[in-house]
Structure 1
């Protein structure tokens, strides 16, 4: 390493900022358009009325665009190894390519900056999607539990409490441990959980458009077509277009997150439903002769959206931390994965000799979760105003 050339601290800072130029351009365009049309953008536009909301949106969009433009932002392949750059300090220049390792090299001579950038793709692919599926499961089960009560509520609440009573870390260790991947358990659970969105949207469209069959049939056909395509790709890895696929270890983590998060969503939806079903507009819908599922999906659920959106933001942050924790313990994703948790785990073993490989993924993880918390706070303020 003594023969390597190095950039100055100023060159490192400005060099890293310059690599994010596609992100800055996209961020500026989206924020400018959001400010310009915020009065027409509903709840999203209202977020820009507070500084906390602007900060949350900016941070979340930054990492979203970083994941989208990772190939343009990163300077090296996140898995590429250049032996001479092993444990290189920040700003070290690769003699072969002349490109700098802006944040230094790790113990396997991989570029820390590029791994941090590509790690955002993994986090933003798993955390929001897993949260969305957990919301679908929790909403689909929580609405009838809160609306009907009785035995349905008793059974569903017992199952939810059973999962919630289990220690979370131990639950994930059992679900994500490498040995479980060789069993049909993850695929059976995926097959069960991933059918909920299809059922949800089919019932949603049927209750709304059953008197307009010409539109209902189109919507049901699209739901079954798109839902079946996604279902086949995720559960059976049989996407004919090759656009949707998930490695067994990623599917394992995905299913584990959905399984652990769904009971929490269920309890929130159940409580909101029990409160909202006593409102006058629900009684008016019952007087009109509307069916129970129409009332649940088109009267109760829209009026519960505020707390659910806030919970979704917080839950994405929680899932992001959970992915980092699992990566730190070496569970789930492949050891060479550039996800932030795995990067922190690899760097933590050599903290006394080299601290620079651990800082970028740690700061990235912290900032993304902070942005989600800011966003949730702003949404909570707006929901209280409404």
Structure 2
């Protein structure tokens, strides 16, 4: 059966048309952001910066692509049409009229659809793992920088111990398939996933300890929701079956949190050591505020600028890491449409067919570029505050 092809202009117009829900969502969100930018604080200020606008556009593009992946992608990422094996871009599916806009891979799957669905994996794992790493780093960095002394020495030694270990080797040890047969990933997950619960419980207690009517509600919500998510992530025991994470994803998740949290810890520790010398901290101490109240409600809000910038950069690093792990076969399942796995599969036939490697590579590069541009804009604005 002969495969027909469409022209380059038709491919470009067809791809643009497939992203119609993304363009619509971007127009609505960015239009509203520009109109109300004066009321949006730091986020609104980046619209006065061309670099910030570029970063926001790229990040929103991939965010909405992930959200509307089922609408944007014309095919299931795992669907195979044998005649489309290694098909060139613009191939028309025989008897169906559908188009493989970016061609087919060696298993006859649509490269465009796999690139689109791959954004879902990246935008779930990278930001979530980064947020957990920030929770761990903040929760440990605040007391280390505020109290100093033995607490600082012990926590700093542990952080430096992890940072001193070669990163690639560390991830290889933590993500290698054989380690899932041991209790190490689940043990680390059980520890790391406690930190958000501890953080928010302490946050609400220090703020509302004199207002029990609000305190009990907030603590109850924290324990119930946190415990529900904790059971689903660590023990896969969510009674509703909503919170679930595959073993491979859990392995990567834990590895990223384990390797990233020491870096966040050192940033938070340094910021706290600087901010605690300010006059408003002395005033809070004079009022008799507790140390954790001062750390969470006086110091942490004033450290938000560098932490937001670091979070953007760290999501980019995590995205590159996911791609690297996938390229070395240490990421998700072999059939996963994540960008790293797609690049690895395409690289084996690179001399014969270059088109399968380009879409996931450009997608990975553009998303990281958008995060870096956004981080640069946020850094500039935070320095002006």
Which TM-score band applies after superposition, normalised by the shorter structure?
Answer: over 0.9
The whole-number CA distance in structure 2 between the counterparts of 1:9 and 1:105 is 16
For residue 147 of structure 1, report the CA deviation from its aligned partner. Answer: 0.3
Aligned to 1:36: 35
The whole-number CA distance in structure 2 between the counterparts of 1:26 and 1:230 is 29
Instruction: Give yes or no for contact 1:178–1:332 (8 Å, CA) kept in 2.
Output: no
For residue 239 of structure 1, report the CA deviation from its aligned partner. Answer: 1.4
Instruction: Give yes or no for contact 1:186–1:251 (8 Å, CA) kept in 2.
Output: yes
Instruction: Give yes or no for contact 1:324–1:340 (8 Å, CA) kept in 2.
Output: yes
Aligned to 1:292: 291
Q: Deviations over 1:255-313 (max 9, x none)?
A: 00000000000000000000000000000000000000000000000000000000000
2:115 is aligned with 1:116: yes
- Map residues 84-163 of structure 1 onto 2, 5 A cutoff: 84-163=83-162
2:350 is aligned with 1:336: no
The whole-number CA distance in structure 2 between the counterparts of 1:201 and 1:146 is 19
The whole-number CA distance in structure 1 between the counterparts of 2:142 and 2:35 is 37
Instruction: Give yes or no for contact 1:341–1:361 (8 Å, CA) kept in 2.
Output: yes
Aligned to 2:188: 189
For residue 182 of structure 1, report the CA deviation from its aligned partner. Answer: 1.1
Aligned to 2:233: 234
2:343 is aligned with 1:305: no
The whole-number CA distance in structure 1 between the counterparts of 2:187 and 2:22 is 39
SS where residue 5 of structure 2 aligns? Answer: coil
Instruction: Give yes or no for contact 2:37–2:43 (8 Å, CA) kept in 1.
Output: yes
Instruction: Give yes or no for contact 2:331–2:341 (8 Å, CA) kept in 1.
Output: no
For residue 332 of structure 1, report the CA deviation from its aligned partner. Answer: 2.6
SS where residue 293 of structure 1 aligns? Answer: helix
- Residue correspondences, number: 385
The whole-number CA distance in structure 2 between the counterparts of 1:97 and 1:251 is 39
For residue 87 of structure 1, report the CA deviation from its aligned partner. Answer: 0.2
2:169 is aligned with 1:175: no
Query: Segments of 4+ in structure 1 off by > 4 A?
Result: none
SS where residue 318 of structure 1 aligns? Answer: helix
Aligned to 2:5: 6
For residue 78 of structure 1, report the CA deviation from its aligned partner. Answer: 0.3
Q: Is there any run of 5+ residues in structure 1 with no aligned partner, and where?
A: none
For residue 240 of structure 1, report the CA deviation from its aligned partner. Answer: 1.8
The whole-number CA distance in structure 1 between the counterparts of 2:275 and 2:285 is 13
2:375 is aligned with 1:368: no
Instruction: Give yes or no for contact 1:116–1:360 (8 Å, CA) kept in 2.
Output: yes
2:382 is aligned with 1:377: no
Instruction: Give yes or no for contact 1:53–1:378 (8 Å, CA) kept in 2.
Output: yes
For residue 60 of structure 1, report the CA deviation from its aligned partner. Answer: 0.3
For residue 163 of structure 1, report the CA deviation from its aligned partner. Answer: 0.1
The whole-number CA distance in structure 1 between the counterparts of 2:150 and 2:374 is 38
The whole-number CA distance in structure 2 between the counterparts of 1:240 and 1:12 is 46
The whole-number CA distance in structure 1 between the counterparts of 2:331 and 2:40 is 39
SS where residue 304 of structure 1 aligns? Answer: helix
Q: Is there any run of 5+ residues in structure 2 with no aligned partner, and where?
A: none
SS where residue 151 of structure 2 aligns? Answer: helix
The whole-number CA distance in structure 2 between the counterparts of 1:96 and 1:106 is 20
The whole-number CA distance in structure 1 between the counterparts of 2:172 and 2:44 is 41
The whole-number CA distance in structure 1 between the counterparts of 2:203 and 2:268 is 16
SS where residue 126 of structure 2 aligns? Answer: helix
For residue 235 of structure 1, report the CA deviation from its aligned partner. Answer: 0.5
For residue 98 of structure 1, report the CA deviation from its aligned partner. Answer: 1.3
For residue 96 of structure 1, report the CA deviation from its aligned partner. Answer: 3.4
Aligned to 2:246: 247
Aligned to 2:351: 352
The whole-number CA distance in structure 1 between the counterparts of 2:274 and 2:252 is 34
CA RMSD of superposed structures (Å) = 0.6
TM-score (norm 1): 0.99
